[in-house]
Amino acid sequence: MKGFGAFVGLIGVVLSAGAAAGQALAPLPPLEPPKKEQVELGKSLFFDPRLSGDGGVSCDSCHDPTTGWGDGKALSTGYPGSEYFRNAQTLLNAAYYKRNYWDGRMAGPDLPTLVRDHLTEAHFMQVDGRLFVERLRQVPEYEQMFQKAFNGEPTFGRTLNGIAAFLKTLTSRNAPIDRYLKGDATALSAEAREGLALFRGKAGCIQCHGGALLTDQKFHALGVPPNQAVFAEPLRHITFRRFFRTLGAPNAENYREDPGLYGVTKDRADWGKFRTASLREVSRTAPYMHNGSLATLEEVVAFYDRGGGQHGNKSPLLRPLNLTESEKRVLVEFLKSLSGDPVVIERPELPDYKPRKLGQN
């Protein structure tokens, strides 16, 4: 056994000389395909504003297919009358995460619960479950779609499951990196291949952005600069304070930065930590980071080149990288190779209300 330990130790030395440790990159494995009828239903519900309290907000208000399934803004708008304090995440590949949201407060494999959080939360869609179910029951086409998908009438739970099924279809398709990892050496340009070598080696990105999703699915503090709009704009600050008070995080009125995972765990060691974002489709999802404070991939690479930001809890994995200008450029080229064919879905024609005969449903 001693000999084995020494052998493993030797591999460690060899690895650290060549490349930063981290999970090897891998092609994205397919998800188990959801039922077609549930996806069709989920797609309509996704685009339907009748799922929000005021009938004016739908999922695509903040997750628009034409802006990478985010909203293209640094900070998300919230439900009318409020503003949110974080960036609206892309939905591409969201179904692969072990934990969802920037602070991981939702358990990943439980997408229906995440959808419920979105529908009912004051800052997202603020709807009463019974209200929107009554609305759906007054739309004959929905009655038929629920029958086909779930053998039953519209209910809260079936709505959640339908949208969750749709979310599972929003995945990377035919990305150059996947073709490359499956053996097609020409799928990446020479520059992107140089960028990949830096990603695995000198730049050390793979320490946190490894595996098929290009994330370790863990939480780290990088010292991303706070977005001052959260403290300067009253509507955002109100949402921010209400949010952390609801989580029971102490002294929320004194926070001058987003404490991230700490708000969920209340463990000082988690202050300022956020979930490592997947880098798949990243060329489509600007601006970057939990608060959208970095506008472009060039800015992101410059941020890491400086060794990240100033933060008491900063990850020891970040250090100045001393990248040359051409190294920064090829690293960005590599990041662009992580996007596949655009996932474009046309907004479906939404079925209308039809008054019911008295006594029906």
Quick one: 143 or 327, whose CB is closer to ligand HEC? 327
Give yes or no for a contact between 156 and 22, defined as CB atoms under 8 angstroms apart: no
CB of 348 to ligand HEC, least distance (A): 15
Interface with ligand HEC (CB under 6 A), residue total 54
Give yes or no for a contact between 50 and 134, defined as CB atoms under 8 angstroms apart: no
274 binds ligand HEC (CB under 6 A): yes
Quick one: 212 or 300, whose CB is closer to ligand HEC? 300
Q: How many CB atoms lie within 10 A of CB 343?
A: 19
Per-residue x/- mask for ligand HEC, residues 320 to 339, rule CB under 6 A?
-----------x--------
Q: How far is CA 232 from CA 96, 227, 240, in A?
A: 35, 9, 12
304 binds ligand HEC (CB under 6 A): yes
Identify residues 29-88 at the interface with ligand HEC (CB under 6 A). 57, 59, 61-63, 76-79, 84, 86, 88
How many angstroms separate the CA atoms of 298 and 227, rounded?
19
Identify residues 123-182 at the interface with ligand HEC (CB under 6 A). 124-125, 163, 167
Quick one: 312 or 355, whose CB is closer to ligand HEC? 312
**Cis-peptide into 287, omega within 30 deg:** yes
Quick one: 307 or 361, whose CB is closer to ligand HEC? 307
CB of 95 to ligand HEC, least distance (A): 8
Quick one: 158 or 220, whose CB is closer to ligand HEC? 220
- The answer to whether the Cα torsion of 103, 105, 109, 111 is positive or negative is negative
Candidates 171, 172, 315, 339; binder of ligand HEC (CB under 6 A) is 315
With 0-12 / 13-18 / 19 or more C-beta atoms within 10 angstroms meaning exposed / middle / buried, residue 12 is: exposed
Quick one: 100 or 171, whose CB is closer to ligand HEC? 100
Residue with tokens 């279809």: 169
Candidates 47, 96, 101, 255; binder of ligand HEC (CB under 6 A) is 101
**Side-chain half-sphere of 21: how many Cα atoms within 13 Å?**
7
277 binds ligand HEC (CB under 6 A): yes
CB of 330 to ligand HEC, least distance (A): 11
Identify residues 178-207 at the interface with ligand HEC (CB under 6 A). 203-205, 207
Q: How many CB atoms lie within 10 A of CB 282?
A: 21
Give yes or no for a contact between 22 and 210, defined as CB atoms under 8 angstroms apart: yes
